[in-house]
Amino acid sequence: MSVSAPESVFPRLEPHLLTVSKPIQYVGGELNSVQKPWDEAEVRWVLMYPDAYEVGLPNQGVQILYEVLNERPWILAERTYAVWPDMEEVLREQGIPQFTVDAHRPVGAFDLFGISFSTELGYTNMLNALDLAGIPIHAVDRDTHPLVIAGGHAAFNPEPIADFVDAAVLGDGEEVVLKISDVVREWKGEGSPGGRVEILRRLAASGTVYVPRFYDVEYDDSGAIASVVPNVPDAPERVRKHTLMDLDQWPYPRNPLVPLAETVHERFSVEIFRGCTRGCRFCQAGMITRPVRERSITTIGDMVENGIQKTGFEEVGLLSLSSADHTEIGDVATGLADRYEGSNVSLSLPSTRVDAFNITLANEFSRNGRRSGLTFAPEGGSERMRKVINKMVTEEDLIRTVAAAYSHGWRQVKLYFMCGLPTETDEDVLQIAELAKKVIATGREVSGRNDIRCTVSIGGFVPKPHTPFQWASQLDVETTDERLRQLRETVRADKRFGRAIGFRYHDGQPGIIEGLLSRGDRRVGRVIEAVWRDGGRFDGWSEHFSYDRWIASAASGLAGTGVDLDWYTLREREYDEVLPWDHLDSGLDKDWMWADWEDALAAARGEDIEVEDCRWTPCYDCGVCPEMGTEIQVGPTGQKLLPLSVV
């Protein structure tokens, strides 16, 4: 942690920019970016999304924290992203450390290094950034270096990276980063007594910051975890997630960043609500972000107007896990369409459920004449599978929805499915082809046209912590690839519909590695380190991912532990097994999740079991609402609400 202002690395970096690809991503100076005087800040953060600039800059989580922190005059926050291999080579050859894009300051000079993980496949990029910054990759080897803090959805099981991070935060970050900053400010103001261990002890005592070094993990003879026990008095037995209750009080980003280089999303995004109570059993995001918290129609309108003025973007995306489920979505759509009719501004609703879609809503969002394809996610190919995963969308629902879309001028529909779901059979996957054919046939019939298209996109199922499927076994690579091969051949063999159906999928290899990382324990850290030392970078990119490298590293890293890759991925867990994340509290009751897992298995046997959206039905006792410390209340339109004063 540097006291005096560190020098910018840019003078040393600049001569080499023309030797690397996309040098603009390292320059900084984006519209609405911030540069603050080093000496005027009492607490200094560097924030990272562990991927390339083009993926990391649009990430809303990092942008929000960047702005929230920099609004405080005593806090300085800058950004860094994973550098491409060609830039890494330059940095290592020239002795230039990992730097921020804002003021090109060395990452190692800051007080706190916050890293947001939306996927576990960014872990090797984290290790690379630490090493380039001159920060020891193992937390126990650090002294005056920045505190490395993980966040994001993957942080709900940080055990695979427990050796590399000093702390992890579960849940919403807006308030937590300010509380952490307050604790660090007070500690530094006292002269940093007790060093690194003392500041970590103070953070752990807050109850919402998890410090892995303060917990001892023991394993039994089977290789499973026997116990996870705090080893200091200030560490709670269970660390709870943080939930931001009143989104209207936090209308961020107010000053969205406008990238200098092309990024994966060229739009301004407004999060219209957080959380989801639909109850899809595979969906970690829906489970860990409960309860549902909506932004008001007024706040949404103000955020859209401000964002357009501050950025110049011509597309606005209304984001959430299922945006059409906002209780005022009709009024939101009409109000925004009225306001921007005749302008260059287009509105989009990226996530739409089949049973929440309606033509009136879609027409409002396409009123300016821009009509993109529609995307729906049945997830399971057969109705049996959709009952297993609690995705209560029937074939009739889907056909009715696409018929309405095609009859009103849409020509392209994208359907998203998963392969490898619990209890899945070959026939369940082949039903995807039959469903796609019916979609094309329906589109041709209702539109009277032959240029109807349907794109089938398939992802591999990965069991995730804090979901009812956290106990499920994962499908092996060979079976996954064979099912996808059969499906591809079935689609291509149909001369009537085959050419109208696009087919996109990922093979089973990346999913198995993601499964290892998502449900792994601390022993998996050895595998991650071995992969990184062997050159692993950008594992979320197919052109950089090496399955062979992960397999070899897993064999060497887990040698002598009594467990292996299959043990972590292909094995079904029992109720009484201690899971690596059991001491981390997402608010969900473990007994409720187990009962829901048993309901999934009962649905697979043909029992008619459905868990409806609990905002509109009696409570299913998932545990979140009592965890928030309040009684469930009912809103004016029947939806369940929590008092916004509760934190």
Return the domain boundaries, the chain: 267-372+586-647
Listed residue (402, 406, 403, 428) closest to 417, CA to CA: 428
pLDDT given at position 634: 52
Mean of pLDDT over the chain: 93
> Does residue 192 register a pLDDT over 80?
yes
Is the pTM higher than 0.85?
yes
Listed residue (342, 332, 434) closest to 381, CA to CA: 434
Distance CA 497, CA 478 (A): 28
- Amino acid identity for residue 119 in this structure: T
Distance CA 426, CA 428 (A): 5
Strand partners, 150: 115, 168
The pLDDT of 604-622, averaged and rounded, is 86
Q: Are 234 and 201 in contact (CB under 8 A)?
A: yes
Q: Burial letters for 572-602: b for 16+ Cβ neighbours within 10 Å, e otherwise? A: ebeeeebbbbebbbbbbbeeebebbbebbee
Strand partners, 501: 454
Look at domain 267-372+586-647 and name its CATH class.
alpha beta
Per DSSP bridges, beta strands 209-210 and 167-169 are antiparallel
Residues across the chain: 647
pLDDT given at position 645: 32
The pLDDT of 83-107, averaged and rounded, is 98
For residue 337, what are the CA distances in angstroms to 314, 342, 366? 13, 9, 8
Helix (H, G, I), strand (E, B) or coil at 3: coil
Q: Which has more pLDDT, 100 or 646? A: 100
pLDDT given at position 179: 97
The pLDDT of 396-421, averaged and rounded, is 91
How would residue 632 be classed by pLDDT, with cut points 50, 70 and 90? low
The pLDDT of 487-492, averaged and rounded, is 94
> Does residue 536 register a pLDDT over 50?
yes
The pLDDT of 119-131, averaged and rounded, is 97
Per DSSP bridges, beta strands 215-219 and 75-81 are unpaired
Predicted confidence (pLDDT) per residue in 134-179, tens digit: 999 999 999 999 999 999 999 999 999 999 999 999 999 999 999 9
pLDDT given at position 364: 84
DSSP H or E segment with residue 273: strand 273-274
Predicted confidence (pLDDT) per residue in 247-296, tens digit: 999 999 999 999 998 898 888 999 999 999 999 999 999 999 999 999 99
Helix (H, G, I), strand (E, B) or coil at 63: helix
